A = this chain, B = another copy of it.
């Protein structure tokens, strides 16, 4: 019997329809949250099933019944990671009135995610890019998709800023968005070496110069 004292990190997936059979005793989202941490820290091949069963509090049998595969678990964790980050980003974006303010919020969000223990843990998209982009076409497609999603969001904010007068008109929204994307992903790489807030936070403000 597994008892979850901590709820999942929010963003519940589609609730399971009851159906026949013994009900699942663990919270899938909570398990995926922990899988995200293990895969982010150790990489895909560096995360052994025994590491995962221990971190998720599951036996190998339950893990395989729920997620088919180590690869299936990674894909589920990846999808949840992207959904979770998207939701947190949306929350952070709520107060931002202008295109520039939205880009500032995104930069702050990534600077915050890239320092201290969270920074050391790293980004699952980056881990997927490094460990599986050349070996697993389906993971590669998801990594590409996640980056393009981000790039598109940023391009939208640049265009929005150009419309509201907070971003220079001479900039190419796509090229600027791609550069901002590099700044964000670069923060995640640099953050893996353990930087503090004093080092990362100022990057966000300085990067805004790219919008002038």
What residues of chain A have their CB less than 8 Å away from a CB belonging to chain B? 41-46, 120-122, 126-127, 129-131, 133-135, 140, 143-144, 147, 171-172, 175-176, 178-179, 181-190, 192-194, 199, 202-203, 206-207, 209-210, 212
Contact = CB atoms under 8 A, between A and B. Distances in A.
A211 B14 CA distance: 48
Nearest to A120: B134
A185 B193 contact: no
Contacts of A175: 202-203, 206
The 7 nearest A-B residue pairs measured at CB: A186-B186, A182-B186, A45-B45, A185-B186, A185-B189, A129-B192, A43-B131
A129 B193 contact: yes
A182 B193 contact: no
Nearest to A171: B206
A130 B133 contact: no
Quick one: which of A42, A126, A193 has the most chain B CB within 10 A? Answer: A193
Copies in the complex: 2
A133 B147 contact: no
A170 to B, nearest CB: 11
Given A134-B41, A175-B203, A140 B181 contact: no
A193 B143 CA distance: 7
A190 B126 CA distance: 9
19 contacts: A44-B46, A45-B46, A120-B134, A122-B129, A122-B133, A129-B193, A140-B193, A143-B192, A144-B193, A175-B203, A175-B206, A179-B207, A181-B190, A182-B182, A182-B189, A183-B186, A186-B186, A209-B210, A212-B212
A134 B185 contact: no
Given A41-B135, A171-B206, A209-B210, 13 more contacts: A42-B131, A43-B131, A45-B45, A122-B134, A127-B130, A129-B192, A130-B192, A144-B194, A176-B206, A179-B183, A182-B182, A185-B185, A186-B187
A185 B122 CA distance: 14
